[in-house]
Amino acid sequence: MAKLLHLQTFSSEKGSLTVFEKILPEGVKRIFYIYDAKNQIRGGHRHKLALVALACVSGKCKVFVDNGSETQIFELSTPDTCLLLDPSDWHQMYDFSDDAVLLVLSDRYYEKEDYIYEKYPERVLK
């Protein structure tokens, strides 16, 4: 299941510096960011292999995560917090603030075949 991590941050009178280090065991192969997404839903998939880290470096957004057995909603609202998603975590990002910039790091290059768009089947609660 997804894990919320607090990134190492160094602050002084000159400002703050936050470090992404040793977050993805296989290293970072792809970096992109999402912005101008107010009133939009992004994501809507999981992966076969890719491990992904999300950080809202400006503004805030929410991330819905479903790993097939449980669901969670995370709010990313500080640049020193990172959400680490397992490949099996089906996820959607939404409720972006006007100034939101969502940074995404992946341990794999883009491969269309790695994406699974189908949601997990609905679970019946007893």
Report in angstroms the alpha-carbon separations of 13 from 46, 57, 60, 120, 124.
Answer: 41, 20, 24, 48, 53
Any idea which residue has 């189908």 for tokens? 118
Question: Quick one: fold of 3-7+25-110?
Answer: Jelly Rolls (2.60.120)
Contact yes or no for 84/108 (Cβ under 8 A): no
Q: Give 4-60 pLDDT, tens digit per residue.
A: 999 999 999 999 999 999 999 999 999 999 999 999 999 999 999 999 999 999 999
CA–CA separation, 48 and 114 (whole Å): 5
Catalytic option among 6, 45, 47, 91: 45
Kindly list the domain boundaries of the chain, sorted by start residue: 3-7+25-110
CA–CA separation, 111 and 118 (whole Å): 17
Catalytic residue status for 6? no
Give the global pTM. Answer: 0.93
CA–CA separation, 72 and 91 (whole Å): 10
Q: Give 56-69 pLDDT, tens digit per residue.
A: 999 999 999 999 99
Q: Compute the average pLDDT of residues 68-85.
A: 97
